[in-house]
Structure 1
Amino acid sequence: MDITAANMAASDGPPPPLPGESVALFKEGISLILSRWSALQMAVENEWGGRGSRAIADQLCSDVFSWFTQSKDTLYIDDLENILDETMLSLNTMTEDGSVEEVAEKLMILHGECLEGNYQSIVDLRASSSQMAARSHVKQALNDEDDDSSDEDDDMSNMMVDTPESVSKPSSANIPTSDTRVRETAEAEDGWTVVSSRRGSKGKKN
């Protein structure tokens, strides 16, 4: 059994409590993983769920943490996927890129690692987030400089800034990796926003 399967394997009964020092770190890890979920962040930034979209995303962090730490039953990844799915539906977003399953898997693995006192994934996520923040600052600085140039130069500069090599080829620490495969969003006739990928729809796991 590989590390993924080992961490995701459900045991009978509620999960053991997290060690005291792991609680805050686990909550931070949840927030870091969800902050890297492109479909969720797109829904929040564009307010697809209305003005309360940010609050819905924040509530998801709390709900996931509570599910792991307060559940009285066996933890099954399918139940976690349902929590993620329901939140995206409340944001009027249907994900078809497989990211729900991948985010759930990352969260299950993170929980298993924290139970063992292993925080390397959180360290890696922190470092990756810091790198992304630094790139964002550089992009903003470049855009500010472009404001003083001609409209034509401005358009060319923005095009170059918006697609840097470091973004088009994310590091292995990015969570979740399937987020990089999101290719397009389309407004469905019924008002829902569909996040899809070239791989097409991915059916729900049994």
Structure 2
Amino acid sequence: MVVPAHLTAEAVNELREGIDLLLGRWSALQMAIQNEWGGRDTRQKAQQLALDIYHWLIRPAEALYVDDLENLLDDFMLSLNTEIDDGSIEEISENLMIIHEECLEGNFASIERLRQSASQTANHPMQVVTGDDDDDDDDDESDSGSSSGDEPMDMEDGVDHLTVGEPGRGPTPMVDADGWTVVSSRRNRGGTR
């Protein structure tokens, strides 16, 4: 639980940018936008989500609970005909709360890391894995030394672990016979890790 305090003008701007950056890294949301799972206006709906999250975080005199934020994100994704059971809703919610708390303290370090990560990602376009084995030896040598420094920073493990087409970015989502993406659930594993 977080009891809201007042944000400075700078913190408000940083918080808005942090929300946008974090949602921009959320693979499930980005896949829904790209594939228009919520209809032709999916992108506008996602922009409204960012605004709704911002207004939710800056509510005066109300306690903030991460569970309520998780419900807001879950309801939104369901409105896009997308059910998320991979734990990313919980991770995004937690990271949004962390960013909000840091902004209240005037600490923008997490947002700066997101900003740097976004610029690195923009400088390294998404690669498509084709399955050609002819050039793998050359690629492995050039990638092995630079992969740890070039990868975007995750606020928590798995925030963008379903990015499609990026080698070394986690498993490629499985698609069932009906065309639905199969996502494993952390909630249904009995709570063991």
Q: Same fold (TM over 0.5)?
A: yes
Mapped pair 1:73 → 2:65: no
Matched, 1:156 2:132: yes
Native 8 Å contact 2:173 2:183 kept in 1: yes
Contact residue 99 and residue 176 of structure 1 kept, 8 A: no
The Cα shift of 1:170 comes to 7.5
Higher share in strand: 1
Cα distance per residue 1:69-92 (max 9 Å; x no partner): 135421111110011101101111
Q: TM-score, structure 2 length as denominator?
A: 0.75
Amino acid aligned to 2:68: D
Number of residues paired by the alignment? 171
Task: Report the TM-score, using the length of structure 1 for normalisation.
Answer: 0.71
- Report 1:134-145 matches (<5 A): 134-136=123-125
Three-state SS of the structure 1 residue aligned to 2:98 is helix
Q: Distance in 2 between matches of 1:129 and 1:48?
A: 24
| Closer, same or farther: CA 29–84 of 1 in aligned 2, 3 Å | same
Determine the structure 1 residue equivalent to 2:154. 174
Q: Are the counterparts in 2 of residues 48 and 92 from structure 1 also a CA contact under 8 Å?
A: yes
- Asked if 1:93 is matched to 2:82, the reply is yes
- The two structures, once aligned, show a CA RMSD in angstroms of 3.1
Closer/same/farther in 2, CA of residues 187 and 61 from structure 1, 3 Å limit = farther
Matches of 1:182 and 1:56, distance apart in 2: 28
Q: Percent identity?
A: 44
Structure 1 residues without counterparts, runs of 5 or longer = 1-8, 144-153
- Partners in 2 of 1:170 and 1:91 — Cα distance? 32
Kept in 1, the 8 Å contact 2:120–2:150? The answer is no
Runs of 4+ in 1 over 6 A off after TM superposition: 164-170
Give deviations 1:112-168, integer Å, cap 9, x for gaps.
Answer: 00000001111111110001001118x5xxx9xxxxxxxxxx8739x979xx77789
Instruction: Say if 1:60 and 1:75 are closer, same or farther in 2 by CA, change over 3 A.
Output: same
Alignment partner of 1:16 is 2:5: yes
Q: Which runs of 5+ in 2 are unaligned?
A: 162-169, 189-193
1:21 counterpart SS class: helix
Question: Does the CA contact (< 8 Å) of 1:34 and 1:61 recur in 2?
Answer: yes
Whichever residue aligns with residue 108 of structure 2, its letter is: Y
Q: Contact conserved, 1:36 with 1:175, CA < 8 A, in 2?
A: no
* Residues 95 and 194, structure 1, Cα contact 8 Å, conserved in 2: no
Q: Which residue identity is paired with 1:19?
A: T
2-structure distance, mates of 1:82, 1:177? 21
CA apart distance, 1:177: 3.0
